[in-house]
Copies of this chain bind each other. A is one copy, B any other.
Amino acid sequence: MPVGTVEDKALALNDIEISVIDLFVRGVQVLGLPKSVGQIYGLLFITPEPLSLDDIVERLGISKGSASQGLKILKGLGAVATKYLPGERRDHYVAQAQLKVLVSGFVNGELMPHLESGEDRLAVLLEDCATDETEGADFRKERIERLRRWHGRSSKLLKTIDRFLG
């Protein structure tokens, strides 16, 4: 390693970078994702060059574990892409910056699974309801029927959102 090297290992973030990262941190928190995910995506979004895991760790000052974990989530959502650079051993990442892709990834990765598990639960509820003859059974039947309708409309809504952005 060269001694007395002039440049710092990690270049400090400038004002614009900080603001953009901050914006994404708040954004992902609304969506229920960890702060580090917002930091990483924000940094990639505002940086022209593809960054390696170590770049991310150094520039954001977060741990390697967090960075690895955050990138995993972002890859799962389709929010970052891997860019292979000739002569580079490490993976380098860039932000996927198409709103449609991001929203689709979130809808399919986070919202749909919940809707589907809800569907299973509703099926069980309907069975339980069929044999329910206790006080107030009619009211409960009506309410669970309503839940079914909500479920159907929610599915359609997600499809509408996809169409809206497509």
Contact = CB atoms under 8 A, between A and B. Distances in A.
Interface of A: 14-16, 19-20, 22-23, 26-27, 30, 32, 45-48, 97, 99, 110-111, 114, 117-118, 121-122, 124-125, 128-129, 132, 134, 136, 139-140, 143-144, 146-147, 149-150, 153, 156-157, 160-161, 164-165
Contacts of A97: 143, 146
Q: How many copies does the complex hold?
A: 2
Contacts of A19: 121, 124-125, 128
A153 B165 contact: yes
A161 B103 CA distance: 14
B20 A144 contact: yes
Contacts of A165: 153, 157
A154 to B, nearest CB: 8
B46 A143 contact: yes
Please name the 9 residue pairs, one residue from A and one from B, whose CB atoms are nearest each other, closest first: A48-B139, A48-B136, A99-B150, A32-B32, A30-B114, A19-B125, A16-B128, A160-B164, A23-B121
Given A16-B144, A23-B122, 4 more contacts: A19-B125, A20-B144, A99-B153, A157-B161
A137 B147 CA distance: 51
Nearest to A26: B114
Contacts of A144: 16, 20
Contacts of A118: 23, 26-27
A136 B47 CA distance: 8
